[in-house]
Amino acid sequence: MNKIIEVSKLIKDYVILTNKHKVLKEVDLEINAGEFISIMGPSGSGKTTFLNIMSTIDKATSGKIIIDGKDVNSLKEDELAKFRRDVIGFVFQDFNLLDNMTIQDNIALPLTLNNEKTQIILERINKLANLLGIEKHLDKYPYQLSGGQKQRAAICRALITSPKVIFADEPTGALDSKASVEVLECFASINKSYNTTIIMVTHDARAASYADRVMFLQDGSISGELDSNGNRSEMFKKILNMIAIMGGESNELI
């Protein structure tokens, strides 16, 4: 299969005063185009740092990251900005919508900044809004929407540039169980409909069960991996078993 991301010997160190703290320890990972990957681990395991480095928000101390054939560490700032705009989409826990703009304008923002034609922007917005079930809310402002609706709007905004990879950091962390399921179903639909690669950090075992593959980080290293056979209920049980094997408290990961 076509690899969209290749990570090799990734190291991330933080220096606090005179002490060096190793957050990631020679992590290796390959992700195929169109995969839905979840990354789990207890607090302090390095999962958000790992996601931030893969998504080019942060830089590694050493190691290599290849995304869509590009060595992202070798890109200059202007090249990296273009690469992010063309290849990567971001979804965050707190939505990051602008309160003084309508949902339609929030979704349109990345293409507006790219000086895309209005007709193309509106066509893409309508297509995505219908796919994610927020077509009736486009004229509203973020404060008028529920948490789940705001997150679906944020997913639309991430998808508006047709990225090859979506990075999601705890996308259901601020949602109730019903809204969480709606958002995860949206991710699953996007993954299948557009063949978009999704990499999601989550504490939630049920959220992780939507993925094709779940990676477990512990103490800065990948300590386990599970593959799904398409049965979400079985995958959920396997995730809980893995948590027990790792010796973590369930509330650290669920």
Instruction: Please give the pLDDT value at position 32.
Output: 96
Strand boundaries in the chain, DSSP class E: 3-16, 19-32, 36-40, 62-67, 70-71, 88-92, 165-169, 197-201, 213-218, 221-227
Mean pLDDT of the chain: 90
pLDDT(156) > 50: yes
pLDDT class for 115, splitting at 50, 70, 90? confident
Cα gap 243→238, rounded to integer Å:
9
- In the chain, where are the structural domains located? 39-58+74-253
CA atoms within 13 A on the CB side of 95: 21
CA angle, 143 then 138 then 85, to 5° = 95
Please give the model's pTM, rounded to 2 decimal places.
Answer: 0.90
Token pair 């939630």 is found at 204
Q: What is the mean pLDDT of residues 98-103?
A: 95
> Is 158 in contact with 109 (CB distance < 8 Å)?
no
> Using one digit for the tens of pLDDT, what is the confidence trace for 159-207?
999 999 999 999 998 888 999 999 999 999 999 988 999 999 998 999 9
Cα gap 93→119, rounded to integer Å:
30
pLDDT class for 92, splitting at 50, 70, 90? confident
Arch. (CATH architecture) of 39-58+74-253:
3-Layer(aba) Sandwich (3.40)
Instruction: Please give the pLDDT value at position 250.
Output: 44
| 45: CB partners within 8 A, 6+ apart | 217, 218, 219, 220
Instruction: Please give the pLDDT value at position 16.
Output: 77
pLDDT class for 113, splitting at 50, 70, 90? confident
Q: What is the mean pLDDT of residues 127-135?
A: 91
pLDDT class for 67, splitting at 50, 70, 90? very high
Tokens linked to 177: 């169980």
Instruction: Please give the pLDDT value at position 248.
Output: 57
Instruction: Please give the pLDDT value at position 93.
Output: 85
Q: Which residue has the higher pLDDT, 55 or 16?
A: 55
**3-state SS, residue 96:** coil
pLDDT(253) > 50: no
Q: What share of the chain is helix, strand, coil (3-state, %, to 5)?
A: 45, 25, 30
Q: What is the mean pLDDT of residues 13-41?
A: 90
